[in-house]
Amino acid sequence: MKSALSRRRFLGAGAAAAAAAVPAASNLEAIEPAPPAKPVSISSANGLAATNRAVKLMNAKEDTLEAVISGVNIVEADPKDMSVGYGGLPNEDGVVELDSCCMHGPSCNAGSVASIRDIKLPSRVAQLVLKRTDHVMLVGDGARRFALAHGMKAENLLTDAARRQWLKWKENLSDKDDWLSPKEAETGHEARPTGTITCLGLNPAGELSGVTTTSGLAYKIPGRIGDSPIIGAGLYVDNDVGACGATGRGEAVIISCGSRIVVENMRHGMDPAAAVKDGLKRIVKQTVDPRLLDKKGRPDFEVVLYALRKDGRHAAGSIYKGRQYAVNEGGGSKLLDCVHLFDR
């Protein structure tokens, strides 16, 4: 994919110059730091193979969007990852519904699908929405029919392992669904399995892309859409500044516009670690419903924000200590620790 936009001249040559080129906090004009010499990809912790493939493809001069989407396709197609794509945990009716979005920095374009059934690789459908429609987002049956029109196969995405886990949940219902009884509305209920993959890529030409894809919250109310397909929440890419993806409680990321906030923080001069920490602090501040608070008055859920700046610097941050993220900067992919707000 070719950029239709002319790129601004870079201000610095090396990484040091790039760091210096990042604007002061009040400078609203985005200044492009120099991109790194080699491609970089970062991802949620389930993305070791994804980042590896993304960097391999970017090294072969593949477009950054194609590279990150090819990367997450590995996890979408893997039945063992029960939080993404094929084999993901279903909604409360036992039907797998998937969410995904992608953004291509150079063309400032985005594509998204939400609540799509029967299609194994929702990120590919999001990419088709970006490339082959005049829209950004398709949902439900419309998204499914659009995928079929493009030759994708309808398949049953519910694996036996996911069905058994769902059945166990179903048999133990009562206080574990989203239909809150008056008592639950006050006291909350047990956390359920979550998971997602987000993958960001940057090449030496300074071109950025990102993708986020998930089966969403396990046993959700049919039709529930999380942050993963929402541009600005589960993903945001600004080719002048950087990119951010999110995993964790989608409702909190939607309400805070989490990824967009992190990219704007970097635009105003924060490094990626400071940018994600500030994004998380805002989520904590906006969590006031007692149902969502633990005994210390802190969120009883997790959110992880992943940031990749235009100069190749990166960080990820979680509300609580102990999370990691995947990185590939040219060698093998590795896991690095996230910065965090609270030890516990």
Does residue number 317 form part of the binding site for ligand ASP (CB under 6 A)?
no
For the sheet with 137-139, list strands across it. Answer: 137-139, 109-116, 98-104, 208-214, 197-202, 40-44, 324-328, 334-337
In the bound state with ligand ASP, the residue whose beta carbon lies nearer, of 41 and 214, is 214
**Residue of 292, 294, 314 whose CA lies nearest to 305:** 314
Residues annotated as catalytic (active site), given as ranges:
196
Shortest Å, Cβ 257 to ligand ASP = 14
Structure tokens that stand for 261 in this block: 């906030």
Structure tokens that stand for 289 in this block: 């419903």
Shortest Å, Cβ 248 to ligand ASP = 5
Q: Is 293 helix (H, G, I), strand (E, B) or coil?
A: strand
Q: CA distances (Å), 240 to each of 180, 202, 205, 264, in order? A: 44, 12, 12, 11
Instruction: Give me the helices (H) in the chain, please.
Output: 15-21, 48-59, 64-76, 122-132, 140-149, 160-171, 182-187, 250-256, 258-267, 272-286
In the bound state with ligand ASP, the residue whose beta carbon lies nearer, of 137 and 217, is 217
Cβ contacts of 5 within 8 Å, gap of 6 or more: 106, 107, 108, 239
Shortest Å, Cβ 5 to ligand ASP = 30
Rounded distance, CA 209 to CA 53, Å? 14
Shortest Å, Cβ 196 to ligand ASP = 3
In the bound state with ligand ASP, the residue whose beta carbon lies nearer, of 3 and 324, is 324
Does residue number 287 form part of the binding site for ligand ASP (CB under 6 A)?
no
**Interactions with ligand ASP, residue window 161-220 (CB under 6 A):** 194-196, 214, 216-217
Could you tell me which stretch among 18-26, 56-64, 166-174, 246-254 binds ligand ASP (CB under 6 A)? 246-254
Partners of 83 in beta bridges: none
Does residue number 227 form part of the binding site for ligand ASP (CB under 6 A)?
yes
In this chain, which of 51, 213, 228, 259 binds ligand ASP, going by CB under 6 A?
228
In the bound state with ligand ASP, the residue whose beta carbon lies nearer, of 196 and 203, is 196
In the bound state with ligand ASP, the residue whose beta carbon lies nearer, of 226 and 242, is 226
Query: Where on the chain is the footprint of ligand ASP (CB under 6 A)?
Result: 194-196, 214, 216-217, 226-228, 247-250
